[in-house]
Amino acid sequence: MTSDFTASEAASEATSGTASGTRPSGIEGKVVAVTGAGSGIGEATALLLAARGARLVLGGRRTEKLDDLAARIEASGGSAVGLRTDVTRRADLAALVTLAQERFGGLDVLVSSAGSGAISPLDDLRVDEWDAMVDVNLKGVLYGIAAALPVFRAQGSGHFVTVASTAAHRVAPSMAVYAGTKFAVRAVCEGLRQEAGDAVRVTTVSPGMVATAFAEASTNQEVRDQISGLRDRIAIPAEAVARAIAFAVEQPHDVDVNEIVIRPTAQT
């Protein structure tokens, strides 16, 4: 879905900064890399942060989507560059971080929003889809940490924002493997937070039902229909999650918003 955010909505209260170790607060001037930026939560987050003055490094698998998003951001007065990024490839995450350094002089925030939701009952034995969820949802986050953490350490500042799921808090039928990856991501991020010290912030955002194409990833028709029906009835827009992410990013460097759970009021 296409977001309504434009760069003309830049927040006046945001304070400027650089990625050179000065620990900028606010959003304006920060360099933010976003995986999964081609659609859904990643796209909405990129647009909102750009509107508030961040400089964006966009990662995703579909080059045409990234090019279009970067063009929209720049047409609205923002700064953005895209790079085809498959989060299951360590080299791609390293290249995304390197691009941020080369283009903008550093990296302040890594938003990991790429995800795979090919949910199905375990009895379906869709083992290739289990592999894909582990590779994207868990290893993709780990590869992002491996790429960005040395940069954050060298700078003396940085912020990991990782999109998990309410499935990281509660398991439901047909979601065993998906929830397993999200529980693992939440554990990794908590461990990272405990190890990070006072220079690196760590935020986990766990959305519930969001109006994205998540349901289409399932190859089980019954499950896909169930998820699509629930989405159509109660889902919140991706922009709501983007605002939660922006809230965490804009805090002063000594304030670490560790976890946000955001879902429709109607979701149990």
Q: Report the catalytic residues.
A: 178
Note whether 46 and 70 are within 8 A (CB).
no
Q: Cα–Cα distance between 224 and 221 in angstroms, integer?
A: 5
Q: How big is the CA angle at 141 (ends 119 and 10), to the nearest 5 degrees?
A: 100
Kindly report the backbone phi and psi dihedral angles of residue 78, in degrees, each rounded to the nearest multiple of 5, phi listed first.
-95, -175
Beta-ladder partners of 86: none
| Residue 163: closest CA among 67, 262, 229 | 262
Q: Cα–Cα distance between 41 and 43 in angstroms, integer?
A: 6
Note whether 148 and 140 are within 8 A (CB).
no
Which amino acid is located at 151 in the chain?
Answer: V
**Residue 266: other Cβ atoms inside 10 A:** 12
Beta-ladder partners of 143: none
Read off the tokens for 96.
Answer: 């995304």
Q: Which residues contact 7 (CB under 8 A, 6 or more apart)?
A: 50, 51, 73, 76, 77, 78
